Amino acid sequence: MKITVIGAGNVGASAALRIAEKQLANQVVLIDIVEGIPQGKALDMYEAGPVDLFDTRVFGSNDYKDSANSDIILITAGLARKPGMSREDLLMKNTVIVRDVTTQVMKYSSNPIIIMVSNPLDVMTYFAQATSALPKERVIGMAGVLDAARFKCFIAEALDISIQDINALVLGGHGDSMVPIVEYTNIGGIPLNQLMPREKIDALVERTRNGGIEIVNHLKTGSAYYAPAASAVDMIESIVRDRKRIIPCTAYLDGQYGISDIYCGVPVKLGKNGIEQIFEIDLAPAELEALRHSATLVKQSCSDLEKLLA
């Protein structure tokens, strides 16, 4: 198993180290355009192997040729969001970056699974698939895992309980239009609405929607990276180990939930072939409307970009 991580910034480097520590690949390649950064970080990670007892070879490069024959490619390259900047502000610049990255990696790997982390996530996943021409089930966006993790953290904090007992589901676009599904959220099987008043739940839902910008506002000059990296590696582990876990991911929809021809966050089965099944669950009318609205916003962004890039 060979996994290539594109982008040696905070998210990419954190993900590469987690992949190595979990021994999910024989070789991890860290690629970045800045000379010396991927080489230095990769060597530092590899030298942690004797301490953490992993044998994964970690290699840094500025040349996409070193990604050749990758089984999985994790794309984290792109500009980070800054205070006052919405995900939409990143659209044009990151689309150009992601299209170029995807073109380069596809020169050297014939049928990889691509996992997208770059923002705006849903739009970038759409353009990565269009550029790569890979089967849609092999190009996946990391969104729901992270969004659900944030929702779980806020619930655990509010109720003073263990995170391990919380099951949460967040669908839709990764950003302001995400749709936390309260009816499918429970603690040890107990529905959340039996443990918390609705106004408190609504406050946690809103905090989840703003989870990324909350961290941006604290950091001032960067964005979240520990949780995004952990979420991406969670997906990678399900693929590598063929665990067939049911987790929310950004997937290409072809009629599910009344949504077509766009990427949107939904529950999927994730295994060695990528997305092996999309689950269409029953949603309350308001939630279904919110999910479709979220998808409409993503589709509009993709359409606008296609016109500008034509």
18 close to 229: Cβ distance less than 8 angstroms: yes
Which of left, alpha, beta for 84 (phi over 0: left; psi -120 to 50: alpha)?
left
Exactly one of 174, 209, 269, 299 is catalytic; which is it? 174
Q: What is the dihedral of CA 63, 69, 70, 76, to 10 degrees?
A: 30
Cα maximum dimension of the chain: 55
Cα–chain center distance at 233: 9
In the annotation, is 218 catalytic? no
Instruction: Give the separation between CA 81 and CA 222, rounded to whole angstroms.
Output: 7
The one-character DSSP state at 220 is: S
Burial readout 65-90 (b: 16 or more C-beta within 10 A, e: otherwise): ebbeebbbbbbbbbebbeeeeebeeb
Q: Which of 106, 140, 113, 77 is nearest to 2 (CA)?
A: 113
Residues involved in catalysis: 174
